[in-house]
Amino acid sequence: MQIDLSSRSALVTGSTQGIGHAIAAGLARAGARVVVNGRGSERVADAVRTVRAESGSENVVGAPGDLATEEGARSVLEAVPAVDILVNNLGIFGAAPPLEIDDAEWRRYFEVNVLSAVRLIRAYLPGMKKDGWGRILNIASDSAVVIPSEMIHYGMTKTSLLAISRGFAKDAAGTGVTVNSVIAGPTHTGGVEDFVRQLVGDQLPWEQAQHEFMVKYRPQSLVQRLIEPEEIANLVVYLASPYASATTGGAVRVDGGYVDSILP
């Protein structure tokens, strides 16, 4: 399957590292003009250079801004007034005893993981509908369905993204715009390595630590390993393509079989 996105532009939020970085590189390899986003200008500039090198495309630019704030979102929207493909990847996570998560932390998780996506959908969806084509992809998680006891606040935000995706897909019905969420399973990123160490300790070699984490904290995984970011990106690039024109309002899984469900 040859995916050609050379006539399309894409914004990937939180794309200076991890899954977002891999998605940006994947879209650039498919020919899209890609906008890399992060909070800091230096990190964004570094990520732009890396994505260009990894993808072989010079059609990669940066748009720094903290999308968890109205001011940051405005600065990104001023730099990028319209896109064909919006990937809401920005997110934070971390373990915390459930009864010790205060109101401020609940709000912070909601504003970063959920409201940032809503702001951009609200801004970009009207233009996509007018053009008769668009792709909105919200990067969710297996934690949206299998709520981890150590990350209830994170799971809540990812469940919210499933609802938002379904709702905005209905708003875009019949317009040529698709809206989906991607349920990513436990993925091998720098942040997840830190999270694994937080749970299993830092004394074990990485491969052993990863195995202990999967066995103890993610035993439902059918691949029995962490997923690589590029594996998430492969699905996102497909869903962003014309080939996925009949897929909308869905929660599409690339979770290594973690969610114990027959339906996607």
* pLDDT tens digits for range 185-203: 999 998 889 989 999 999 9
> Residue 232: is its pLDDT beyond 90?
yes
pLDDT at 263: 84
pLDDT at 201: 92
CA–CA gap between residue 58 and residue 53 (Å, rounded): 8
pLDDT at 227: 97
Q: How many CB atoms lie within 10 A of CB 103?
A: 7
The residue-averaged pLDDT of 73-82 equals: 98
Band (pLDDT 50/70/90 cuts) for residue 123 is very high
> Residue 72: is its pLDDT beyond 90?
yes
The residue-averaged pLDDT of 74-92 equals: 98
Q: What does pLDDT average to over the chain? A: 96
pLDDT in tens, 87-116: 999 999 999 999 999 999 999 999 999 999
Quick one: fold of 9-187+227-254?
Answer: Rossmann fold (3.40.50)
Q: Secondary structure of the chain: what % helix, strand, coil (to 5)?
A: 50, 15, 35
Domain segments of the chain as ranges: 9-187+227-254
Assigned token pair, 124: 């970009």
CA–CA gap between residue 41 and residue 194 (Å, rounded): 24
Band (pLDDT 50/70/90 cuts) for residue 1 is confident
Assigned token pair, 1: 């399957």
pLDDT at 191: 86
Contact of 154 with 109, CB cutoff 8 Å: yes
Angle, helix 206-217 to helix 190-200, in steps of 10 degrees: 70
pLDDT at 108: 98
Within 13 Å of residue 57, how many CA atoms lie on the same side as its CB? 20
pLDDT at 195: 87
Close Cβ partners of 78 (under 8 Å, ≥ 6 residues apart): none
With CA atoms as reference, report the closest residue to 119 among 107, 110, 106: 110
With CA atoms as reference, report the closest residue to 250 among 92, 131, 136: 136
pLDDT in tens, 9-65: 999 999 999 999 999 999 999 999 999 999 999 999 999 999 999 999 999 999 999
pLDDT at 148: 92
pLDDT at 66: 98
From 109, 124, 154, 258, the catalytic residue: 154
The residue-averaged pLDDT of 64-81 equals: 98
Question: Which residue do the tokens 């499933």 mark?
Answer: 162
Residue 249: phi and psi, rounded to 5, are: 70, 15
Close Cβ partners of 133 (under 8 Å, ≥ 6 residues apart): 84, 176, 177
154 is catalytic: yes
Band (pLDDT 50/70/90 cuts) for residue 264 is confident
